[in-house]
């Protein structure tokens, strides 16, 4: 092994020959990747569409049904509003696409709403955006997996009692694939994503062809479990509630702007084109599904989804094409969780780097992904699935309000960015934390686009909060401030730690301190002498300390110490209640009170180390117990001196 020696400096750089061993973990998630492999783990537009768009594209499978679930209280005649509401959602999609396409090019480092809000609106709005998006990603996993299981139950009703277990198993599967890395998971998910798109487009085309020739017909034996006998009047509030439920189709639009760095160079250009592809596909398919579902007389149901009714009507009952469509839908709904697994760890890592989440979330795992964030997402989403019994209808009210709040903050932040850009002199550059701010001749147009997006998404967020409040949206409205408070508390702690550790105004490097060594002994043996040799390297001021529980044993220790103690003093602490830590702590506190300036107390503890796990449990861990109780005391150090035994 060779290493670089830098003459004239105390710093050396040394390579390592260590290679991770092959084990079951590596077989499960793949062999560890080197940091230098990171540029080779990026993805192109084709795979990027599968990784970051599966959430948005899959929403066609449930957004229309969720609109119908709201409108059903006014009777089947209210379903005539489904397609007009979908047109309004498509217009909103267009506005968001233009807005986020600008965000992608302005912030090529990714981060989406969080980074935009942080750089243009401040830390509090940024943490609100972060909390909103993290909640949205958790709910994306819970909703998409639950919706996928609902498709399975539609085809096989006997599986209804097992839907929670199936859902959790699918979450674990998606987690495992994502732990293998972005590039590998993208390849795995690309095939089912494009299979779904082919089947969806085929269903829509066949449906419109049969409609054109007058052979489409209506749903045979539609489910009736949600149809009300006495219809309520159609009101503006009811239509707004349906619109709010339908906007769940837009929850994945921001995903690409968060994961720009996952794309191959030029990353911004590839990400922007992928966003436009996704928007065109989503808008067209959503309008097609909405129009056909309304025409065939599909009815919302917990037992059979609207998508299932559409497929069996278009393909004449439950034949091979129907099963192909249901299979594709189930798979894409499961794959939709992958968008959250791609973005949740990235966003949590950004917040962790900024000090608003635990630092551990910013560390990349063996496969160059933020594995701790992936595991955390899987656990929290699984708990939600269990609590809500894998019911899409019960989860939906919690879903979109958070993401539309982040939409609003992102668009507001971008509008402010363009305002700042327009007031810069030509040629002036200002380095911000997330991007480079320069003068832009088209700043007024861009500011107007983002301002329209901000106003529109704010209106939708307000509609969602009001219309879904009693259905569960109040939970999100309560949780987001709590999360922001937690983020700020974590940040405050990190700031205090940084201030305490800062070398600013610290003065000269620290002087050597004088050691006062306390050597704890339970007996006099080879392990004790090894610890004594170590203690002599620290100081000549050594005091051996024994806690006396058995007087006869203490006498034997006294005699042996006179022979082997090399003249160092021995202090015996009587313990009438046979406790070990308390007398030691009392003695150390007394010494600490008498400690001189520039004096350090070091407690040395001999520790047996067994070669086997089971026999290791037969020995006490005195040093660990002492370390816990002395942790908050400055200038008191606890050191273990290991002595290996068979």
Domains by residue range for the chain, with CATH: 75-489 (1.20.1740.10), 514-645 (3.40.50.620)
CA distance 533 to 531: 5
CA neighbours closer than 13 Å in the CB half-sphere of residue 273: 12
Report residue 359 as tokens: 């630092």
First to last CA, the chain: 33
Pairing of strands 4-5, 12-13: antiparallel
Tell me the helices (H) and strands (E) count for the chain, helix number first: 23, 9
Burial of 340 (0-12, 13-18, 19+ CB in 10 A): buried
> Are 122 and 142 within 8 A, CB to CB?
no
Backbone φ and ψ for 473, nearest 5 degrees, come out as -65, -25
The strand pairing partners of 12, in sequence order, are 5
**Is-contact 20 106, C-beta < 8 A?**
no
pTM of the entire predicted model: 0.77
- Give the CA dihedral 78, 79, 81, 86, nearest 10 degrees: 150
Q: How many whole angstroms separate alpha carbon 385 and alpha carbon 377?
A: 12
Kindly give the residue spans of alpha helices, DSSP state H, lying in 468-596: 474-501, 526-538, 551-564, 581-593
- The verdict on whether omega for the bond into residue 266 sits within 30 degrees of 0, i.e. cis, is yes
| CA dist., res. 436 & res. 424, Å (int) | 12
Condensed to tens digits (0 to 9), the pLDDT of residues 532-543 reads 999 999 888 999
DSSP E strand boundaries for 396-535 = 429-431, 436-438, 514-520
574 beta partners: 548
Q: What percent of the chain has pLDDT over 90?
A: 24
Q: Which two tokens stand for residue 1?
A: 């092994």
Which two tokens mark 407?
A: 């939409």
What are the start-end ranges of the E strands in 242-301?
none
Residues 6+ apart with CB under 8 A from 306: 64, 65, 68, 293, 298, 299, 300
> Token pair 């088209």 is at which residue?
442
Q: What letter would DSSP give residue 43?
A: B
pLDDT at 1 (0 to 100): 47
- CA atoms in the 13 A half-sphere facing the CB of 488: 13
Q: Which residues in the chain come in under a pLDDT of 70?
A: 1-14, 16, 18, 25, 35, 38-40, 224-231, 396-397, 399-400, 506-512, 610-624, 626-627, 631, 645-646
Q: Strand, coil or helix: what is 225?
A: coil
Q: What is the DSSP letter of 7?
A: T
Q: How far is the C-alpha of 529 from the C-alpha of 326, rounded, in Å? A: 74
Taking the mean position of all CA atoms in its chain, how far away is CA 418? Answer: 30
């Amino acid at each position: 092994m060779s290493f670089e020696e830098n003459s004239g400096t105390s710093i050396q750089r040394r390579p390592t020959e260590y290679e991770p061993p092959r084990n079951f973990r590596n077989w499960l998630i793949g062999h560890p990747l080197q940091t230098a492999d990171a540029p080779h783990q990026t993805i192109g537009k084709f795979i990027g569409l599968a990784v970051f768009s599966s959430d948005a594209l899959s929403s066609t499978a449930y957004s229309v049904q969720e609109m119908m679930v709201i409108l059903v209280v006014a009777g089947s005649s209210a379903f005539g509003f489904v397609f007009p509401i979908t047109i309004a959602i498509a217009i909103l999609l267009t506005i968001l696409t233009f807005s986020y396409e600008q965000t992608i090019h302005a912030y090529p480092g990714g981060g989406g709403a969080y980074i935009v809000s942080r750089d243009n609106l401040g830390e509090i709005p940024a943490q609100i955006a972060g909390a909103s998006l993290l909640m949205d990603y958790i709910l994306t996993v819970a909703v998409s997996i639950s919706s996928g299981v609902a498709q399975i139950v539609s085809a096989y009703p006997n599986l209804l009692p097992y839907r929670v277990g199936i859902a959790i198993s699918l979450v674990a599967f998606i987690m495992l694939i994502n732990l293998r890395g972005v590039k590998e998971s993208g390849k795995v998910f690309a095939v089912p994503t494009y299979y779904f798109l082919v089947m969806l487009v085929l269903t829509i085309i066949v449906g419109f062809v049969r409609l054109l020739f007058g052979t489409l017909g209506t749903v045979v034996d539609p489910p009736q479990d949600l149809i009300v006998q006495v219809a309520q009047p159609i009101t503006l509030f009811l239509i707004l509630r349906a619109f709010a439920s339908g906007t769940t189709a837009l929850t994945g639009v921001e995903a690409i702007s968060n994961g720009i760095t996952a794309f191959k160079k030029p990353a911004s250009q590839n990400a922007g084109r992928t966003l436009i592809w996704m928007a065109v596909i989503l808008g067209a398919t959503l309008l097609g599904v909405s129009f056909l579902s309304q025409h065939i007389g599909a009815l919302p149901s917990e037992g059979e989804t609207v998508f299932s009714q559409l497929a069996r009507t278009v393909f004449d009952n439950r034949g091979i094409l129907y099963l192909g469509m249901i299979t594709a839908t189930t798979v894409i709904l499961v794959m939709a969780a992958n968008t959250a697994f791609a973005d949740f760890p990235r966003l949590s890592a950004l917040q962790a780097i900024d000090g608003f989440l635990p630092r551990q979330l910013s560390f990349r795992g063996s496969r160059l992904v933020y594995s701790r964030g992936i595991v955390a997402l899987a656990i929290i989403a699984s708990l939600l699935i269990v609590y809500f019994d894998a019911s899409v209808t019960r989860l939906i009210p919690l879903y979109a309000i958070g993401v539309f709040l982040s939409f609003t903050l992102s668009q507001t932040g971008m509008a402010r960015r363009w305002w700042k850009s327009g007031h810069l002199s030509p040629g002036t550059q200002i380095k911000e934390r997330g991007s480079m701010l320069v003068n832009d001749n088209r700043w007024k147009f861009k500011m107007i686009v983002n301002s329209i997006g901000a106003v529109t998404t704010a209106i939708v967020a307000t509609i969602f909060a009001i219309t879904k409040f009693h259905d569960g949206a109040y939970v999100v409205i309560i949780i987001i401030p709590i999360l922001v408070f937690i983020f700020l508390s974590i940040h405050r702690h990190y700031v205090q730690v940084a201030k305490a550790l800062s070398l600013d105004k610290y003065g000269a490097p620290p002087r050597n301190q004088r050691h006062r060594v306390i050597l704890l002994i339970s007996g006099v043996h080879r392990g004790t002498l090894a610890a004594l040799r170590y203690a002599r390297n620290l100081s000549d001021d050594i005091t051996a300390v024994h806690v006396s529980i058995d007087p006869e044993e203490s006498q034997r220790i006294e005699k042996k110490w006179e022979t082997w103690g090399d003249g160092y003093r021995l202090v015996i602490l009587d313990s009438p209640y046979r406790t070990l830590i308390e007398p030691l702590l009392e003695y150390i506190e007394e010494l600490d009170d008498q400690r001189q300036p520039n004096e350090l107390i070091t407690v040395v503890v001999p520790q047996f180390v067994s070669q086997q796990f089971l026999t290791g449990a037969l020995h006490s861990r005195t040093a660990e117990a002492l370390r816990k109780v002395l942790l908050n005391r400055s200038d008191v150090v606890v050191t273990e001196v290991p002595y290996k035994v068979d």
